[in-house]
């Protein structure tokens, strides 16, 4: 199939391109490069067979969207493009609603006009808010705690309304848990701009000596050692999940909402320990106050993904640390654009 990958130059998108090309699909990337680099696409090309077509465009521009759909006979869309920084979304909620929610509405409108009705959407475990019980099944109550999370919830509802209006839609809503790590080649990986918001890229930057130490946000949660527990998932496993979802949509009409996680939670201190073991580097840290809005624990019940998609995570924490560290060591400054 010919797949339009919005946000394809980003972290999860670039890894998914590799898996799509491996599965024999053709890819067209639509990205405004607001949080990514074309170097990622050049690197994907190095580890893949098959070409990538890149269209620099913005979801907020219906003209850009029309142009890409008129230039290519798209069969399906995988929609990664969006802003994802929780803190920034609190400061600039309208930016998030315009870019993520309105941008997705523009995309869907263009899909309707182009007669394309197959969509895989990047949602997030953040839609579960503070979980009442664990592990999280897809039918658990939702309730995001910040504007970023609400953009995901609103888009999910918009997509369900769309499917309700026209039975031709086939939509997979994938709720990712905490993606980390990198492609084992070390050629593509996460490339945060500025100070990382997330735990894993912060740890790798401490390990490489770019930051002196890690702040652990609270050790008084009701967890194994008091630090926050999350379901970390290798980005390559996550990427494979998208190919499985596309295959499933070939025979599924309506909306399929699925968790992509491992089902296993690890605490911050367990993550530090695993990373030290794999990298041989010390990770100096200090315990500081809880981060506003954080929850104690979050991990998936991944059984629906197994049943519906025939997918399950294959990599464990050690491989996530190994591949994430391999990427960081070989690309200490991330993607460097030559011009
Ligand atoms: P990323 O920032 O690396 O990738 C997003 C891409 O979208 C970037 O390349 C960016 O340039 C592009 N983009 C943003 N706004 C755009 C617009 N208006 N028009 C065109 N392109 C635009 O992020 P990621 O980690 O790869 O995340 C991909 C998706 O998965 C996002 O929707 C994110 O919310 C979701 N998600 C991410 C995580 C995570 O922890 N990384 C967890 C759950 C869900
Ligand atoms: C993990 C754990 C922190 C940084 C966020 C978004 C969520 C999703 C993924 C997109 C927590 C602790 C972190 C640090 C720390 N994104 N921590 N020191 O908070 O589960 O999820 O990213 O959808 O929406 O909210 O991930 O990596 O930020 O934190 O101690 O410097 O590490 O308190 O327990 P989180 P994270």
Among the four given CATH numbers 1.10.10.10, 3.40.50.720, 3.40.47.10, 3.40.1010.20, the one describing domain 2-180+232-261+301-313: 3.40.50.720
Q: Ligand 2 mean position to 33 CA, how many Å?
A: 23
pTM, whole model, 2 decimals?
Answer: 0.98
Q: Ligand 2 mean position to 199 CA, how many Å?
A: 6
Which pLDDT belongs to residue 338?
A: 74
Cβ neighbours of residue 295 closer than 8 Å, sequence gap 6 or more:
129, 130, 131, 228
Pairing mode, if any, of strands 76-79 and 26-31?
Answer: unpaired
Closest residue by Cα to residue 81 from 19, 154, 20, 31: 31
Closest ligand 2 atom, CA of 124? 23
* pLDDT per position as a tens digit, 168-217: 999 999 999 999 999 999 999 999 999 999 999 999 999 999 999 999 99
Closest ligand 2 atom, CA of 86? 25
Residue 298 contacts residue 131 (beta carbons within 8 Å): yes
Closest ligand 1 atom, CA of 9? 9
Is there an atom of ligand 2 within 6 Å of 180 CB? no
Is there an atom of ligand 2 within 6 Å of 145 CB? no
| Four-point Cα dihedral 150, 101, 232, 184, nearest 10 | -170
What sign does the dihedral 176-299-241-51 (CA atoms) show? positive
| Residue among 228, 267, 271 whose CB has most ligand 2 atoms within 8 A, to mutate | 228
Closest ligand 2 atom, CA of 202? 31
Q: Which ligand is nearest to the CA of 96?
A: 1
Is there an atom of ligand 2 within 6 Å of 294 CB? yes
* pLDDT per position as a tens digit, 204-239: 999 999 999 999 999 999 999 999 999 999 999 999
Only one residue has tokens 């024999």, namely 24
Strand partners, 232: 178
Q: Check if 148 is active-site.
A: yes
**Domain-wise residue ranges, the chain:** 2-180+232-261+301-313
Q: Ligand 2 mean position to 259 CA, how many Å?
A: 17
Is there an atom of ligand 2 within 6 Å of 270 CB? no
Tens-level pLDDT at each residue, the chain (339 residues): 999 999 999 999 999 999 999 999 999 999 999 999 999 999 999 999 988 999 999 999 999 999 999 999 999 999 999 999 999 999 999 999 999 999 999 999 999 999 999 999 999 999 999 999 999 999 999 999 999 999 999 999 999 999 999 999 999 999 999 999 999 999 999 999 999 999 999 999 999 999 999 999 999 999 999 999 999 999 999 999 999 999 999 999 999 999 999 999 999 999 999 999 999 999 999 999 999 999 999 999 999 999 999 999 999 999 999 999 999 999 999 999 876
Is there an atom of ligand 2 within 6 Å of 197 CB? yes
**Euclidean distance between CA atoms 295 and 309, whole angstroms:** 29
> 3-class secondary structure for 169-206?
CEEEEEEECEEECCCCCCCCCCCCCCCCCCHHHHHHHH
Q: Ligand 1 mean position to 275 CA, how many Å?
A: 25
Q: Which ligand is nearest to the CA of 261?
A: 1
**Euclidean distance between CA atoms 8 and 57, whole angstroms:** 11
Which pLDDT belongs to residue 339?
A: 60
Closest ligand 2 atom, CA of 229? 34
Q: Which of 96, 128, 148, 299 is catalytic?
A: 148
- Pick the residue whose CA is nearest to atom 17 on ligand 2: 199
């Amino acid at each position: 199939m010919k797949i339009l990958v919005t946000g394809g130059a980003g972290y999860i998108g670039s890894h998914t391109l590799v898996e799509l090309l491996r599965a024999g699909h053709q890819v067209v990337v639509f990205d405004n490069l607001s949080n990514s680099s074309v170097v990622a696409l050049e690197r994907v090309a190095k580890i893949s067979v098959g070409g990538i077509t890149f269209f620099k465009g913005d979801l907020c521009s219906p003209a850009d969207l029309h142009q890409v759909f008129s230039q290519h006979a798209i069969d399906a869309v995988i929609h990664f493009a969006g802003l994802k920084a929780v803190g920034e979304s609190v400061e600039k909620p309208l930016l998030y609603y315009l870019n993520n929610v309105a941008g997705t509405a523009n995309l869907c409108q263009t899909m309707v006009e182009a007669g394309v009705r197959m969509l895989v959407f990047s949602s997030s475990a953040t839609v579960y808010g503070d979980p009442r019980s664990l592990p999280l099944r897809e039918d658990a109550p939702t309730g995001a705690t910040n504007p970023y999370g609400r953009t995901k919830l609103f888009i999910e509802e918009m997509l369900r309304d769309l499917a309700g209006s026209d039975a031709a839609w086939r939509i997979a809503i994938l709720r990712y848990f905490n993606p980390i790590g990198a492609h084992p080649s070390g050629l593509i990986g996460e490339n945060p701009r500025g100070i990382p918001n997330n735990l894993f890229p912060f740890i790798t930057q401490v390990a490489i000596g770019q930051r002196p130490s890690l702040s652990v946000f609270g050790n008084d949660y009701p967890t194994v050692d008091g630090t926050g527990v999350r379901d970390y998932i290798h980005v390559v496993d996550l990427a494979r999940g998208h190919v499985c979802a596309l295959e499933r949509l070939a025979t599924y009409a309506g909306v399929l909402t699925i968790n992509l996680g491992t089902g296993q939670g690890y605490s911050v201190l367990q993550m530090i320990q695993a990373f030290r073991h794999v990298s041989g580097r010390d990770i100096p840290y200090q315990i500081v106050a809880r981060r506003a809005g954080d929850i104690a624990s979050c991990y998936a019940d991944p059984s629906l993904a197994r049943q519906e998609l025939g997918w399950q995570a294959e990599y464990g924490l050690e491989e996530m640390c190994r591949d994430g560290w391999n990427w960081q060591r070989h690309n200490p400054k991330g993607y460097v654009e030559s011009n």
